[in-house]
Chains A and B, each alone.
Chain A
Amino acid sequence: MKRTSAFNWVMLLLSSLVLLFILAPLAGMFLHTGGTDLLNTARDEDVRMSVWLTLWVSFAATFFFAIGSVPLAWILARKNFPLKRIVLGIIDLPVVLPHTAAGIAVLGFISRDGVLGKAADTIGLTLINNPAGIAIAMAFVSVPFLINSARDGFMAVPERLEKAALTLGASQARVFFTISLPIAWRSIVTGFVMMFARGMSEFGAVVIVAYHPMVAPVLIYERFGSFGLNYARPASVLFIIVTLTIFILLRLVSTGKKENKLSPDAEA
C-alpha cells in the first residue's frame, strides 16, 4: 500500500481543525436544543412571522435589485470606460464596510431628511421600521455578490458568439436576450442565491434601519438580550434549518439544470 507522507498528515490535521471549528459550535447548538423546544418555537407566532418576513423581504430585495444589477454587470463585463476601476471598487465597498456603519449610511438616505426618504414620504410611505427600508438595508450590503457573479458570467460568454449573432441579423437587444443572458444564466442565478442568502442573514445594517418589524437575526438578538441563551438557541436553530433548506433547494435547482439549457429559440 502507498505510504501517506508526513506532509499529507499535517495538511489533513490542519484542515480537520478548521472544519471542526466551523461544525462544532453549530453541532453543539443543535445538540443542546430539544425537540419540544424546537416545536414550541416553531409554534411561536412572533418567530414564524419574523422568519417569513426575513425570507420574503430578502427575496424581494434580490429580485428588484437584479433588474438593475444584471445590466450593470453586463456593462462592466463588456464595456470599457474611464474610471471603470473606481466603479468596480465602489461596487465592492459595502462588503468591506462595518455593517452597522452601512446601516447608518442607509438610515441617512431613507430617513425623512434623506433623498429617498423624502421621495417615499410624498407617496405616504415611511421607510424606517418598514419592510421596504429593511429590503434597502439588505440590498445595500448584499448586492455586490449578485453584480460580481453576474459580471463573471457575462465575461465568460465568448464575444465571438455575440458578434456571430450580429452578423446573422440580430439586434443588440436580441443578442443580449438570446445569447449573452442564457449563457451567463448560471452565474446570474448563483449570484442571486448568494445575494438572497446574504440578505437573509444581515443583522447590523437592518437593526439600525428597522428594529420592528423584526427580521429573524434581530429577533434572535432580542431573545438573547431579554431572556438569555436558552431562549435564543431554539429560534437560531429553527432559522438555520429554514435558511439551509432554502439554500440547498436553490442550489439544486440552479445546478440541476442541464448544462446547456435550451432557449426558446432552440425549439424545432
Chain B
Amino acid sequence: MLKLENINKKLGDFILSDISLEISEGEYFVLLGRSGSGKSQLLELIAGLTDPDSGRIYIDGEDVTSHKIQDRSIGLVFQDYAIFPNMTVFGNIAYSLHCSKTGRSEVNRRVHNIAADLNISHLLNRLTTNLSGGELQRVALARTLITSPKVLLLDEPLASIDASLKDDIKRLFRKLNRQGLTIVHVTHDYREAVSLAMRVGVIHNGRIIQSGPASEVFSKPVNKFVARYSGIRNYFRVRFMNEDGTWKALCDNSIAFVMPEDKYPENGLMVIRGDSIKIHRDEPTVRPPNCFKGKVSEVFPSEYGMEVTIDAGEIFYVDIPAEHYNMLKINELSEVWISFSPEAAIALEGNG
C-alpha cells in the first residue's frame, strides 16, 4: 500500500536517514517518537510537501516520489489542524471540492454527508475561530476525508485535545480504520500506540529503530529508548552470568535476578514492566525465583490504577489495579514482598 524505501533527507542540522517502511492496506500504523525525532518531517515527505534527497516512495506499487502533492491521494491532518480562519466550517470542508471544480449541488451533498458522519452538521455555518479543539479536529478530518485519500496521515492528532474528548476521537479513528482506511498516526505518547496501533514504528534522531506488531515492540523493546517509550520505568544495570545452568542478572548492589533461558552479553540492562511485578503483603509461603522484600516509599493513583514505588535495595515502580491495592491494605512505609516471573524480565544490550 504505502512503501518507503531508503529515504534520506537533510533538513538543516537534522537528518532523516535510511527510512524504510512498509504499511499494508487497511493497517493502523503508529509512528512513535519524541518531538524533534523527525516524525512530522517524515509525514511531510510522504505527503509530498518536501522531496527526499534520495530514496523512493510507493503508493499501491506506483512510484510517487516525483508526483505533485495534488496527485498523491494522501490526506494529511496537521497537529494544529491548519483550519483556514478566513472561511466557515463549510468553506473549509468544501475547499478541495472547489479546487476540483465540483458542481454546487454535489459540493453541498458531499459536505453535508461527511459532516453528518463526523457529527459536525450543526457547525457548518460557523466561523472557525471559536471552535473547541475536538471540533477543529473533526473539521480537519472532514476536510481531508472528503478527498477520499488512500492513506490518512495524522500528525499528533490527540496532542491538543481535552482528555475527556480523546476517547471519542480514538473511537472515530478506529471506526475509519475498520472501514478500510489506511492510517499512519504520529505521536509521542505510547498509550495512543497501545490503544490504536496494529503495528508500531519507533523513530529516534531521524532513524526508525524498531518496528513491528504493537505487542511485540512493547514486550520486546530492542533498547532502552524503545523500552522507555513503551512505558517501562524499571531499568537495572546488570552483569549477566550463568550459575549452574541458570542465567542470572547481577545488579551493582548484589541483588540477583533470575533470567529466562537465552543468550546474554556480559553486561547490559534488565528491564521489567511495572504491571509484571506482583506485590504480596506477607512473605509468600513458596518463594518464587525473583522475590524481594522491600518498603513502600510512595503511592500515586495512575491511569492503570495505582503506581506503588517500592524500595527493595533497588527502586521498583509497580503498577497494580486500584481494587488490588485496596485489598492489600498497604500504605506508605508498609513492608511488602514483590515478585515477578523470570519470563517477564527483558534483557537489553548496552548500558543505557
Contacts and interface: CB of A to CB of B under 8 A. Distances in A.
Given A169-B99, A170-B70, A171-B70, A266 B76 contact: no
A161 B84 CA distance: 6
Given A163-B78, A169-B96, 17 more contacts: A160-B80, A165-B84, A165-B95, A166-B69, A167-B74, A167-B144, A169-B100, A174-B99, A179-B86, A259-B129, A260-B86, A260-B128, A260-B129, A262-B127, A263-B86, A263-B91, A266-B86
Contact of A266 (B69, B88, B129): B88
A182 B85 CA distance: 10
A240 to B, nearest CB: 36
A183 interface: yes
A39 B319 CA distance: 89
B90 interface: yes
B291 interface: no
29 contacts: A160-B80, A161-B82, A164-B78, A165-B84, A166-B49, A166-B70, A167-B49, A167-B75, A167-B144, A168-B96, A169-B70, A169-B99, A169-B147, A171-B70, A171-B99, A182-B86, A183-B86, A259-B129, A260-B85, A260-B127, A260-B128, A261-B86, A262-B86, A262-B91, A263-B86, A265-B98, A266-B91, A267-B91, A268-B108
A178 B91 CA distance: 11
Which 8 A/B pairs are nearest by Cβ-Cβ distance? A266-B91, A164-B82, A168-B96, A266-B87, A160-B82, A182-B86, A169-B99, A266-B88
A191 to B, nearest CB: 18
A167 B124 contact: no
B96 A262 contact: no
A158 interface: yes
Interface in B102-125: 108, 124-125
Interface string A165-198: 1111111001000110011000000000000000
A179 B92 CA distance: 11
A40 to B, nearest CB: 49
Nearest to B128: A260
A167 B88 contact: no
Nearest to A168: B96
A167 B70 CA distance: 6
A262 B86 CA distance: 6
B127 A168 contact: no
Nearest to B94: A265
A265 B70 contact: no
Interface residues of A, number: 26
Contacts of B44: 163
Interface residues of B, number: 34
Contact of A263 (B75, B76, B87): B87
A145 to B, nearest CB: 24
B9 interface: no
A267 B124 CA distance: 11
B29 to A, nearest CB: 19
Interface of A: 158, 160-161, 163-171, 174, 178-179, 182-183, 259-263, 265-268
B207 interface: no
B95 A265 contact: yes
Nearest to A265: B91
B143 interface: yes
B64 to A, nearest CB: 13
Contacts of A165: 84, 95
A179 B86 CA distance: 8
A65 to B, nearest CB: 25
B47 interface: yes
Contacts of B90: 266, 268
Given A182-B86, A262-B88, A265-B91, A168 B49 contact: no
Contacts of A160: 78, 80, 82
Most chain B beta carbons < 10 A, residue from A165, A171, A261, A265: A265
Contacts of A174: 99
A160 to B, nearest CB: 4
Contacts of B124: 268
Nearest to A261: B86
A266 B95 CA distance: 9
Contacts of B85: 161, 183, 260
A170 B91 contact: no
Contacts of A170: 70, 95-96, 99
Contacts of A168: 95-96, 99, 143-144, 147
A266 B83 CA distance: 13
Contacts of B108: 268
Contacts of A179: 84, 86
B47 A167 contact: yes
Interface in B53-86: 69-70, 74-76, 78, 80, 82, 84-86
A266 B87 CA distance: 5
Most chain A beta carbons < 10 A, residue from B49, B94, B129: B49
Contacts of B74: 167
A46 B345 CA distance: 98
A268 B125 contact: yes
A218 B95 CA distance: 52
Contacts of B94: 265
B317 to A, nearest CB: 38
